[in-house]
A and B are shown apart, each in its own frame.
Chain A
Amino acid sequence: EAQVTQNPRYLITVTGKKLTVTCSQNMNHEYMSWYRQDPGLGLRQIYYSMNVEVTDKGDVPEGYKVSRKEKRNFPLILESPSPNQTSLYFCASSSVPGLGNTEAFFGQGTRLTVV
């Protein structure tokens, strides 16, 4: 079954404690992306990756890091989380947008609370 898997689904952490949210896809997609969703603000892109070892900043990259060492994995790293990073996070993957009729596949989301 084609899927994007995020872990964990829920996470409560304390300010400053490094954390990683994992994302894995089994569709051999080149493109992967992280979004955060906050009430009234829609989906805002944090980082994206066009392929292995190629990553770029999205609209709200501050306070986040990513890596793309393998095609299937795209972890989101918060080196020193702060309360304003409390949000619902989504990972998505697709074939390269713009090259055809590609759709994005989303993970189930990670609800992060930083206290």
Chain B
Amino acid sequence: SQQGEEDPQALSIQEGENATMNCSYKTSINNLQWYRQNSGRGLVHLILIRSNEREKHSGRLRVTLDTSKKSSSLLITASRAADTASYFCATVLGKNTGNQFYFGTGTSLTVIP
């Protein structure tokens, strides 16, 4: 399965610290996306990075992509209690290799005020 694996499964940090979570996948991708899920709610798109990009920023989010290692990381800087949520990576394969989103198992982030 292409399903990504996030690491760590759970992360607990103090408010103001940075949070880093990682995603590994198995096959070549078109792009990789990160989503956030508040408890029991639907996933919300955060950021997309294309396969030819290495780094992307959006506000306090920084995403890196290393296609040679088939891995990505999401960094949330200066975390806030409101960042408490689960974070999922999703890989998207190209149109000739399966038009699908493949979601990982998620990282549960707790930010302690």
Contact = CB atoms under 8 A, between A and B. Distances in A.
Interface in A25-74: 31, 33, 35, 40-43, 45, 48, 50, 59
A96 B92 CA distance: 10
Interface residues of B, number: 29
Interface stretch (B12-20, B37-45, B70-78): B37-45
Contact of B92 (A40, A50, A98, A108): A98
Contacts, number: 68
Interface of A: 4, 31, 33, 35, 40-43, 45, 48, 50, 59, 88, 90, 92, 94, 96-99, 101-109, 111
Contacts of A31: 99
A106 B42 contact: yes
Contact of B1 (A59, A107, A109): A59
A8 to B, nearest CB: 14
Contact of A33 (B48, B95, B101): B101
